[in-house]
Structure 1
């Protein structure tokens, strides 16, 4: 199972949308406090819709607590400061992909500890970053693709309607 980690997320709608994406992809969500909202907040539930109760979510009091509870985890750090593009790495089926808070990203002292696994999404010009929910979806679905979308529905079916 892949793992998405949000380091101190601030916007409940982003976390709700990411939670819904995690449910749809059988991905575990890890939330590192402090959070910029309460987990029972209406905006969070609205964005996650009725999927929030199906979400495998874990919370941690801080980054050190996260590291202690996940010893030896392979962690990719999504940051605009990385030199490697997110498509240049091979995502293990049980890896963790961490994203920072909307206003500041992942703290540099954490990035320095993981500089070999820092990854970026290419952008044009001086755009600071993409929306957090979009960034998670882009990188998560690349990791899922590399793992052959294990356990996911790979085809849909049209229903023929007669007029």
Structure 2
């Protein structure tokens, strides 16, 4: 799986998303301009010690992203979509794209990918969810549809002796 952030603005969101990507074995693709530096303290703090393990790719603009990922199946998360994110059928190597926090994905891009636009349902009086929450919601649905391939599916409880 691949997460694409188009012009992200808030370092803490990108750091949280990076951590989610490491936890799920997902690549992170960042399309410039970024609203922060990749060595920014807030970014690293949100990503904790996972950031060095992140498979991250940076592109100068959307066209460069397309050139370097020819034939990529891209799903675009937007509040303007008619289709709910659970209605899409995500391929194991697809790209889930999210726009910048203040404006989302530009309409000129969305119009070219209308069939692959998805939305997260929410009350009509709210503009959008937090970017890192939106990424987690859609990514985990895509992973579920692919049987959480290559992920640990079960944990183990260890009997502890409680001293109360």
Query: What band does the TM-score fall into relative to the shorter chain?
Result: over 0.9
Alignment of 1:1-150 (within 5 A): 2-150=1-149
Distance 1:87 1:162 in 2: 43
Q: For residue 97 of structure 2, give the secondary structure of its aligned residue in structure 1.
A: strand
Q: For residue 52 of structure 2, give the secondary structure of its aligned residue in structure 1.
A: helix
Distance 1:13 1:154 in 2: 28
Question: What CA deviation, in whole Å up to 9, does each residue of 1:118-137 have, x standing for no partner?
Answer: 00000012210000000000
Q: For residue 58 of structure 2, give the secondary structure of its aligned residue in structure 1.
A: strand
Question: What CA deviation, in whole Å up to 9, does each residue of 1:56-84 have, x standing for no partner?
Answer: 00000000000110111000000000000
Distance 2:7 2:55 in 1: 18
Superposition deviation, residue 26 in structure 1: 0.1
Moved more, 124-133 or 44-53: 124-133
Gapped runs of 5+ residues in structure 1?
none
TM-score by length of 2: 0.98
User: How many pairs does the alignment contain?
Assistant: 162
Gapped runs of 5+ residues in structure 2?
none
Give 2:158's aligned residue. 159
